[in-house]
A and B are shown apart, each in its own frame.
Chain A
Amino acid sequence: MTAKARNYLFISIAVFFFAAFLVVVCSRKKAERPEPELRSRTIENGSVTQFIKVKLFYYSETSAFLQPVFREIEVPEIREGLYKKFIDLLLAGNSGLITPVPDGVQLRSAFYLQKMELLVLDFNDSLINVFPGGTTAELEFIYFIVDNICYNFKEIKKVKILSGGNENKTLAGHIDLEKPFFPDYNWLKDE
């Protein structure tokens, strides 16, 4: 057998095993996201309050992907209140990890459109006024918000971002903000 033929044989075997590997990997069922766990707890005044455990994802300098952190949120009576609490907790950040949100940015309100499975988030004017620019920075902010909220609340399928109550064309000249965003879990490390 010539060297050329040996090379072809080697490549063929490699292709075969690669194809077999792909078949095995593709046939594996993707892990389901768990529903947030509802817990009851008695607080100091004796009343019982319900909490859910949520999984927050942040960036780090050592990885381009979001890193998971576990927290608990008290469940308010109004569902939108829960979403707002969740975003507030997210924006508060986590020590040692990066929160891709400019200083001074706060969520004004959150409202959910059930038929459209759409959550509308209205941030204050600072979002547009002080956003630092850069395509990656815009994508980091958008998917930090969208992936986190959609990952933890299954009823939300897409997110629309407003600033100061207004629709804005972009955050800083790149990504179109007029349409809502679906999550892109490629940004999550453990997905």
Chain B
Amino acid sequence: MKHIIKASTIFISILFFFQILTALSINFRSFDHEGFTRIVFEADQSFTFSVRNRPGQLQVLLPKRADFKAQSIIVQNSRLLERVTHEFKEGNSIFTVFFKGDVTVNKNFVLEKPFRVVFDLVKSEKISTLPQSTPENIEKPQGAQPAHQPAEPAASKPKPIETICIDAGHGGEDFGALGKSKLQEKNITLQISKKLKKLIESKTGLRVIMTRDKDSEVSLNSRASIANNQQAQMFISVHVNSSFRKSAYGSETFFVSLKATDQEALELARKENQNPEDPGETIKNDELKMILWNMAQTEYIRESSTLAEYIQFELNELLGTRNRGVKQAPFRVLMRTAMPAVLIETSFISNPAEEKKLQNQEFLDKIAFAIFNGISKFIYYYNNIVK
């Protein structure tokens, strides 16, 4: 018993000192520039965060305890900012920036060394007149690139995200799932996808392509092919869910699963693709190549998982509906995409309450905005990896 108590005490002490050493310390600063105000949250280590945009304020949530110099700081001589507060609530450190009047977040990005989360704020009516260039000697955004850059030859090294492919599920003769009021999945997915495209283009300047922009039927293979041929670096498939259980509700985000069947096929393909007389040489066999091509997504599983986490977190935050979480399944449309790829099930058309919500444009706006927020965060994460 003595030994157990002694071991426990040592273990707790180690954890205690480890906690102190790894405590997150946050510094806040702001600058007024011509046409916009930049705010920066700087930390001695990287952290995950979520953002809530509310009238008159911006909230940054960290899912851990953070140290901040005071509970409330008055921001002196700022055109747009009034004060910043900090509180720890339900496991989250919440930083709230209070604005003077109507203020909008125009850009949000992350920088490394040291880790910084940066927001560019503007008076609400000034978004379209913002200067495109960023003043020197201050934090520069890494993610956003000018739109419609000429296509470059495919490079072996991953490059920062410039092109996103949005896939509006179903279309044409394929209605997708149907609601009790005959609401069709294909129409909802197209509306959300168009809203999302508009948001991404206007807020980031990135190039967005769509697998369909009207009520047309596109095969699952063609959808992946469009994304691959256009050298998209992210594939977002938008869907509306349905269940045999009418009570099922909520949102969920999927990425491809790598179950044993896939591994078996991959191993088989590798073995059979080798010339027995010369193991270094591969046999040119279209069928076997196809087996491997079916698994193009395996290269990007980790990134797809992260993308799914970011998007699901935002859907959960913004929609306030049941969080069904991030899941894996062998989606045919995702398997052949050679890029981070996810499929989003926004809500259940088979649930009468959610079907009603899906007929409301504000709800669709919220969905598009949540997906956009998740994508934005992934872009900063991804661009920092490939830098």
The interface of chain A, by Cβ under 8 A from chain B, is 7-9, 11-13, 15-16, 59-62, 64, 98-100, 132-137, 139-141, 158, 169-170, 172-176, 179-182
Contacts and interface: CB of A to CB of B under 8 A. Distances in A.
Nearest to B331: A174
Contact of B330 (A12, A134, A179): A179
Contact of A133 (B177, B220, B247, B343): B177
Given A135-B254, A175-B332, A59 B176 contact: no
Given A64-B248, A135-B343, A181 B261 contact: yes
A174 to B, nearest CB: 6
B244 A59 contact: yes
Given A134-B176, A134-B350, 10 more contacts: A7-B65, A8-B19, A15-B15, A133-B176, A135-B239, A135-B254, A173-B176, A173-B332, A174-B331, A180-B261
A181 B265 CA distance: 13
Interface of B: 8, 11-12, 15-16, 19-20, 65, 169-170, 174-178, 185, 220, 239-248, 254, 259-262, 265, 329-333, 335, 343, 345, 348-350
Main secondary structure of the interface of A (DSSP, over half): mixed
B172 to A, nearest CB: 12
Nearest to B19: A8
A133 B185 CA distance: 9
B177 A132 contact: yes
B242 A134 contact: yes
Given A170-B220, A176-B332, A182 B244 contact: no
A170 B332 contact: yes
B175 A133 contact: yes
B19 to A, nearest CB: 4
A176 B335 CA distance: 9
B331 A16 contact: no
A179 B243 contact: no
B16 A9 contact: yes
